[in-house]
Amino acid sequence: MLHVEGLVAGYGKVQVLQQVSIAVPEGDLVTLIGSNGAGKTTTLRALSGMIVPEAGQIRIGGENVAGMTSAEITRRGLAHSPEGRRVFPVMTVADNLVMGAFTRLTGKRPKGDVQADIARMYELFPRLAERRGQLAGTLSGGEQQMLAMARALMLNPKVLLLDEPSMGLAPKLVEEVFAIIRQLKTQKVTMLLVEQFAAAALEVADYGYVLENGRISAHGPAAHLRDDPAVRAAYLGAAH
Ligand SMILES: Nc1ncnc2c1ncn2[C@@H]1O[C@H](COP(=O)(O)OP(=O)(O)O)[C@@H](O)[C@H]1O
Ligand SMILES: [Mg+2]
């Protein structure tokens, strides 16, 4: 579904990603793990058109979207739940979800049944259902994270990019977020999950990539990476 080949990207003269290649097959959950500063967020920003890649191909269902604007890429069905729980703080939870369906409401993506999908989000994220009339800025960090995920899902995406959904959350909420990711996986949502919390990510994922200083240093079925001594030492040690 999503095929990234030889992606080179960065910020101005600072090249962060060096020839990154990643494949996310339809219905699979692929994780990109790596230390702080490895370039995970930069990868997702390049995929969703927030930064323009210098080289490489980003194919969504066969079409190369590298160089397109983020609006054009959104229309092709790529949704990005960004790092740091970006929600519209002075809009209600319900209105944030409607905004997630904006591209559908303007006819640039298949419209489907937006109301039914909002209802589905409230089933998946019961905490949001209880707070649907509340301004998003007044939600807790964990609830804002869930809203950012739900809003991205409202695109009915072909591929969902999740940037560190567990970041800064209390252990109980981390568990809740991962339970939701597992549920999305059973619903065959195609996902690329970026996580520093590598053990949990490799637990739910089908396949994993390790990013080190802007390069893919290892990749394989998630179960293999979990057993790889080098991966264990670097990312699955006592600190994680
Ligand atoms: N807006 C930016 N401008 C310049 N450099 C940046 C910017 N954002 C991130 N970087 C640099 O790019 C590198 C990769 O960062 P990032 O992709 O955020 O890593 P990760 O998400 O894996 O922690 C880091 O060296 C970081 O300092
Ligand atoms: Mg990051």
Co-location of 162 and 149 in the same domain = no
Residue whose Cα lies nearest atom 3 of ligand 1: it is: 11
User: What is the pLDDT at residue 240?
Assistant: 44
Averaged pLDDT of the chain: 94
Co-location of 72 and 89 in the same domain = no
Q: Which residues, given as ranges, of the chain have pLDDT below 50?
A: 238-240
User: What is the pLDDT at residue 49?
Assistant: 97
What backbone phi and psi angles, to 5 degrees, belong to 56? 110, 170
- Ligand 1 contact via 12 beta carbon (within 6 Å): no
Co-location of 12 and 125 in the same domain = no
Residue whose Cα lies nearest atom 17 of ligand 1: it is: 39
User: What is the pLDDT at residue 239?
Assistant: 45
| 81 and 161 Cβ atoms separated by less than 8 Å | yes
Q: In this structure, is residue 176 part of a structural domain?
A: no
Instruction: For residue 240, give both structure tokens.
Output: 């994680």
Count other C-beta atoms under 10 Å from residue 75's C-beta: 16
Q: What is residue 39's DSSP assignment?
A: S
CATH of the domain at 73: 3.40.50.300
Q: What is the reported pTM?
A: 0.94
- Ligand 1 contact via 41 beta carbon (within 6 Å): yes
User: What is the pLDDT at residue 155?
Assistant: 95
Q: What is the pLDDT of residues 158-169, one digit of tens each?
A: 999 999 999 888
Residues whose CB is less than 8 angstroms from the CB of residue 223 and which lie 6 or more positions away in sequence, other chains included: 202
User: What is the pLDDT at residue 234?
Assistant: 87
Q: What is the pLDDT of residues 73-116, one digit of tens each?
A: 999 999 999 988 789 999 999 999 999 999 999 999 999 999 99
